Structure 1
Amino acid sequence: MPRRTATMLASTLMLIALLCAGVLIPVPYAEMSPGPTVNTLGNHDGEPVLQISGHRTYPADGHLNMTTVRVTSADFRMNLVEAVYGWLAHDSKIVPHETLYPAGTTEEQSTQQNAEEFSQSQESAKVAALKQLGITVKSWVIVSTVVKNAPAEGRLHAGDVIKAVDGTPVKQPGDVAKLVTKHKPGQNVVFTVVPAKEQAAAEKEHRTAATRNVTITTTTSDDTGPDRAVVGISAGTDHTFPFRVDIKLADVGGPSAGLMFALGIYDKLTPGSLTGGAFVAGTGTIDDDGTVGPIGGIQMKTIGARDKGARYFLTPADNCAAAAQGTPSGLTLVKVKNISDALGALKDIRTGDTAALPKCTTKD
């Protein structure tokens, strides 16, 4: 066989071997890409995304789109060829697998966590919107979860209202941990609670529920860091709304739609149009006080929003620098820190005073 032919054959075989290796060898990466965007002022799967009853609502036009990111599943094992293709593509991002799925996290656990965060974001969006309108929302601290085999198991239950710990009134979820950790492991802590069923009945009958004291012996935390006393619960917040607000959107997870839900609710409860008919999209977590927090996958969300026709994108202040590094052509990134900032920006957009918009830059 001539040397030239042998060299070409060897090179071809080596290339085939490398391609096979690239396809067969898994790499520890996952892919993010733009997901669907949904107008919170419109319909999804044939029904309104926001449904409000028991209070006057007003027509709303334009777009206030929440945005999403598609990610590969926890059990998907990317090969080298797929990773290289993703790195070269402008509309996807390759990240370490553990960034999306910490070690040991299953697909089921990730889905459950995303569902819980999405549910909480809806509650906070309702509270933030109504507070901005001056509408009173009753809130109280509850037992959110109880750890299996922990001291609190069987003594406290999810939904129980926590009125006090050791006689000290509880006003915020964080108060519970602070009061419990004042103890040493092995000491008793007294919870003053209203059982979840009693609270539900009292609300229905418009009366005050009776409290009871529950004494629990603390144990030592099993997480990293200094030893501290715990009882094995996490605290959260529950609310009673003066009228019904439902958010109908399935197959979405995570907390990042909170801001856009809050704005959509605000728009439907106020006369006139927040957007003036403009196509506005955005993202950001929101807490009960209306503070907007950062999210992941910001560049994928801006791409998805622009592809759908958005001209303005409400961006959490802490995401501005990253978002501004790859702003899609024709999209203006607007920096917001809270719901008041977002409402101010929407006023500038609908009045045409876009020069006044606080725009994101790479220096933010």
Structure 2
Amino acid sequence: MTDMRDLQHASHPEPSPFDDSQVEVAPITRRTVTLGVSLLATAVLAAVALVVPTPYAMRSPGPTEDTLGRDLIQIDGARTYESTGQLRLTTVSVLGGPGYPMMSGQVIQGWLDPRRSVLPVEAVFPEATTKEEQQEVSQAEMVSSQESATAAALTELGYDVPAVLDVAGTEPGSGAEGKLNEGDVIEEFQGEPVGTYADLIDGLAETTPGDDVTLGVQRGNRTLDVTITTAGNGQRAVLGVFIDPHYDFPVDVSIEIENIGGPSAGTMFALGIIDKLTPEDEADGEIIAGTGTMSPEGTVGAIGGIEQKLYGAVRDDAEWFLAPADNCEQVVGNVPDGLNVVKVATLAEARDAVEQIGRGEGADLPTCS
């Protein structure tokens, strides 16, 4: 016979510890409603804040290109040679700018990423400049950098590079202001013919800053002698004249590169030209990246965004990086692990650095420390 106590127990089981019928629901109060609405409003405002336009632009590591690869540099009129190494130009990708503002969330991400740099828009783009205008300027600078790199490389290799030296303008307050006009052509320096850009630079190298020099100038149909007081630029005399050289290259060099602008690839272009025109395998299997503008006389100039270029070089397997000497302040403390930075001030120094790295002797090259 079944015990009635057993039936009672089966009909009324003990409550499970997870039985929600036993959970007490707190009453909804005005304070609870206020707190919920406040949290929801805060979340909405935070989400909206992340998509608010900001007056910032961000630099990130851009692509790199091997100047010795895929026929980037093509040469006619001289024998060329193969290389087993790589000479990679480096670039910076820019987010933000006129007409394309960065959102707050993107700015925060940039601040938290050591590979990126967040700057006020005006520090990256000139004021009152559209993005289209900036792109046009960037492409013009790229074309000019290719010509200067070609002139510097061929001069470094011992070629004479004839040039017509047109005056593009004068520096305000210089000795040339008011004496030279845009469109003048410099044909003589101190009575000596000027047939190449190097002739003018060599003449200035022998001039003490502050001395007067006489330029033979073609102005329209007239030939004039113009006396200018030089100024000092470190240890070198300068004219205060902007020169627009038109070259007659003894070797045809063409550089085919897309979607990259600005003048900062000049040094790596020049090194690529030298490597292709010399039988030595300068890099000898090494991956060497770098940056820097290149003047026709072979001076390596400072550039922007070098911190991002260092990271781009490491990402693309470079172990060496050639940095302009004038950028050393930005390099110190920003070198990624595994990258060796060599400071260079001239094309001759950069060429020597590549050769030493290729020989396995790069350890003693100067750095930015």
Give the TM-score, by structure 2 length.
0.73
Q: Could you list the per-position Cα deviations for residues 323-354 of structure 1 after superposition, in whole angstroms to 9, with x for gaps in the alignment?
A: 23221111111111111211221222112123
Residue identity matched to 1:62: G
Task: Find the counterpart in structure 2 of residue 37 from structure 1.
Answer: 64
Counterpart of 1:101 (choices 125, 139, 155) is 125
Task: Say whether 1:51 aligns with 2:59.
Answer: no
Change (3 A) 1:143 1:325: same
Task: Find the counterpart in structure 2 of residue 253 from structure 1.
Answer: 261
The question of whether the paired residues in 1 share the 8 Å contact of 2:83 and 2:284 is answered with no
| Secondary structure at the counterpart of residue 315 of structure 2 | helix
Runs of 4+ deviating beyond 6 Å: 167-171
The alpha carbon displacement at 1:235 in A equals: 4.2
Task: Find the counterpart in structure 1 of residue 40 from structure 2.
Answer: 12
The question of whether the paired residues in 2 share the 8 Å contact of 1:41 and 1:61 is answered with no
Task: Summarize the alignment of residues 269-308 of structure 1 with structure 2, pairs less than 5 Å apart.
Answer: 269-308=277-316
The alpha carbon displacement at 1:100 in A equals: 1.3
Counterpart of 2:91 (choices 68, 73, 76) is 68
| Secondary structure at the counterpart of residue 331 of structure 2 | helix
Q: Give me the whole-angstrom Cα distance separating, in 2, the residues matched to 1:61 and 1:301.
A: 23
More displaced stretch, 252-261 vs 315-324 = 315-324
Where does the alignment leave 5 or more consecutive residues of structure 1 unmatched? 146-155, 176-189, 195-211, 216-232
Counterpart of 2:218 (choices 192, 215, 223) is 192
The alpha carbon displacement at 1:6 in A equals: 2.8
Task: Find the counterpart in structure 2 of residue 113 from structure 1.
Answer: 137
Q: Give me the whole-angstrom Cα distance separating, in 1, the residues matched to 2:86 and 2:193.
A: 43
Q: Could you list the per-position Cα deviations for residues 235-276 of structure 1 after superposition, in whole angstroms to 9, with x for gaps in the alignment?
A: 411111112111111221111000000000001111121111
Q: Give me the whole-angstrom Cα distance separating, in 2, the residues matched to 1:79 and 1:329.
A: 31
Residue identity matched to 1:15: A
| Secondary structure at the counterpart of residue 271 of structure 1 | coil
Q: Give me the whole-angstrom Cα distance separating, in 1, the residues matched to 2:83 and 2:90.
A: 19
Task: Find the counterpart in structure 2 of residue 138 from structure 1.
Answer: 162
Task: Find the counterpart in structure 1 of residue 319 from structure 2.
Answer: 311
The alpha carbon displacement at 1:162 in A equals: 5.2
More displaced stretch, 314-323 vs 10-19 = 10-19
Q: Give me the whole-angstrom Cα distance separating, in 1, the residues matched to 2:99 and 2:192.
A: 46
Structure whose CA Rg is larger: 2
Q: Give me the whole-angstrom Cα distance separating, in 2, the residues matched to 1:235 and 1:245.
A: 22
Residue identity matched to 2:294: I
Alignment RMSD (CA, Å): 2.9
Task: Summarize the alignment of residues 220-235 of structure 1 with structure 2, pairs less than 5 Å apart.
Answer: 235=243
Task: Say whether 1:213 aligns with 2:222.
Answer: yes
Q: Could you list the per-position Cα deviations for residues 76-99 of structure 1 after superposition, in whole angstroms to 9, with x for gaps in the alignment?
A: 112222211111123321110001
Q: Give me the whole-angstrom Cα distance separating, in 1, the residues matched to 2:142 and 2:319.
A: 26
The question of whether the paired residues in 1 share the 8 Å contact of 2:185 and 2:217 is answered with no
The question of whether the paired residues in 2 share the 8 Å contact of 1:281 and 1:313 is answered with yes
Q: Give me the whole-angstrom Cα distance separating, in 2, the residues matched to 1:15 and 1:163.
A: 71
Change (3 A) 1:86 1:129: same
Q: Could you list the per-position Cα deviations for residues 278-326 of structure 1 after superposition, in whole angstroms to 9, with x for gaps in the alignment?
A: 0000000011111101100001111111101100000011112312322
The alpha carbon displacement at 1:234 in A equals: 6.2
Q: Could you list the per-position Cα deviations for residues 91-117 of structure 1 after superposition, in whole angstroms to 9, with x for gaps in the alignment?
A: 321110001112101112211111111
Task: Find the counterpart in structure 2 of residue 265 from structure 1.
Answer: 273
Residue identity matched to 2:49: A
Q: Give me the whole-angstrom Cα distance separating, in 1, the residues matched to 2:264 and 2:153.
A: 16
The alpha carbon displacement at 1:118 in A equals: 0.8
Residue identity matched to 2:110: G
The question of whether the paired residues in 2 share the 8 Å contact of 1:51 and 1:246 is answered with yes
The alpha carbon displacement at 1:70 in A equals: 0.8
| Secondary structure at the counterpart of residue 273 of structure 1 | coil
Residue identity matched to 1:324: V
Change (3 A) 1:300 1:164: same
Q: Give me the whole-angstrom Cα distance separating, in 1, the residues matched to 2:85 and 2:257.
A: 19
Q: Give me the whole-angstrom Cα distance separating, in 1, the residues matched to 2:38 and 2:200.
A: 70
Task: Find the counterpart in structure 1 of residue 228 from structure 2.
Answer: none
Q: Give me the whole-angstrom Cα distance separating, in 1, the residues matched to 2:188 and 2:361.
A: 50
Q: How many residues in Structure 1 have an aligned counterpart in Structure 2?
A: 296
The question of whether the paired residues in 2 share the 8 Å contact of 1:164 and 1:192 is answered with no
| Secondary structure at the counterpart of residue 23 of structure 1 | coil
Task: Summarize the alignment of residues 347-358 of structure 1 with structure 2, pairs less than 5 Å apart.
Answer: 347-358=355-366
Where does the alignment leave 5 or more consecutive residues of structure 2 unmatched? 1-27, 170-180, 205-215, 225-240
Q: Give me the whole-angstrom Cα distance separating, in 2, the residues matched to 1:262 and 1:33.
A: 25
Q: Give me the whole-angstrom Cα distance separating, in 2, the residues matched to 1:326 and 1:4.
A: 51
The alpha carbon displacement at 1:144 in A equals: 4.7
| Secondary structure at the counterpart of residue 54 of structure 2 | coil
Counterpart of 1:21 (choices 41, 46, 49) is 49
